[in-house]
Amino acid sequence: MSGLALSGAAAASLPELTTGRLLSTWRPDVAALLLIAVLGGLYGWGVLRLRRRGERWPVPRTAAFALLGLGTLAVATMSALAVYDTELFWPAAVQNVALDLIAPLGLALGDPLRLAMSALPERGAGRLRGAMSGRLLRLLTFPLVSSALVLVSELCIYFTPYFETALRHGALHELMYLQLLLAGSLFVLPVLTREDALPAWCNHPVRAALVFLDGLIDALPGIVVMTHSTLIAGAWYLRHAPAWAPDVQHNQQVGGGAMVTIAELVSLPFLLAILVQWSRADRAQRVVLDRRLDEELAPAAPVAGRPEEEELVRPWWETDGGTVGQRMRQGRPQG
């Protein structure tokens, strides 16, 4: 596993991390492969089930789930980032922020909750909807709570013995991977899904503001790591750093800078996805309103016994008791 501690001789045997080795070095991780297979299998089952019913699932959503979501999960746990994370701090920092931010974004863009609701039988969909509306899940996915969980999770990893202990024990390292993925997903999945997973007041403008705020919060751990004078897991990295590696303090600064950069870069497509959803929802609402106006302004059908003169149906604003109707009546010219 990627978190297994290496002996000093094994660490020294690792070749220098060049750009070529960063792209070509891979090591399988059984736990990560199993998780990828389960998530990919369930998603593929949902897509096939819809296809058998004659329904189509958007290809871009499938691509986002498979490439950005599961692909990032594979890169973070099995690429050179995982091979070198016990010798250099910056690969571990990039690895963790990828699991915390990029992978959840890719999974959420695939809209797995919506897919599950559409593909599952009625009883299964009802159970899933009931679980989503449960008090515990509602609390954990409440926007400010989920953002705080991401922040606390990152700070606890780096500023408690948790991280150094995970470097020593492979099983705990795998658990840390899962913790980061779940913490990030608790915020991203409810915000991007079309299911009613958030309170009613979380409309698209509010979600856009929350994403902007979350981008600032996600940058805080990287800033703290980059400016922190004390080495994080310093005893471990001082003992296991290869001879070709840069100064450990400098390595930590590079890792913190990478965390800040990735956090800010991820917030841009996240915000863009919210704005696209907002535009589509607004366009769909306008289409419904236009259709309603067309129907209400259409000529009434002639009725036997009445004059054959064509009579228009009264416009909706003449009978509407809301604010919009009152304004329309007040602004209408008197004839």
Residue pLDDT, tens place only, 190-217: 888 876 777 778 888 888 888 888 888 8
Residue 59: both structure tokens together: 């290809």
Chain centroid to CA 106: how far?
A: 6
pLDDT tens per residue across span 257-278: 999 999 988 888 888 888 888 8
Distance between CA 94 and CA 258 in Å, rounded? Answer: 7
Cα dihedral 209, 210, 214, 217 sign: positive
Q: Facing residues of 299 across strands?
A: 312
Q: Is the pLDDT of residue 25 over 50?
A: yes
Work out the pLDDT band at 302, boundaries 50, 70, 90.
Answer: low
pLDDT above 70 covers a percentage of the chain that reads: 83
Burial class (CB in 10 A: 0-12, 13-18, 19+), 32: buried
Helix axis angle for 30-52 and 71-78, nearest 10°, is 170
Q: Which residue has the tokens 């079309």?
A: 194
Distance between CA 307 and CA 81 in Å, rounded? Answer: 82
Three-class SS state of 299: strand
pLDDT tens per residue across span 149-197: 888 998 899 999 999 999 999 899 999 999 999 999 998 888 888 767 7
Least confident of 2-6, 176-180, 304-308: 2-6
Work out the pLDDT band at 140, boundaries 50, 70, 90.
Answer: confident
Q: Select from 171, 184, 246 the least CA-distant residue to 221.
A: 184
Q: Is the pLDDT of residue 108 over 90?
A: yes
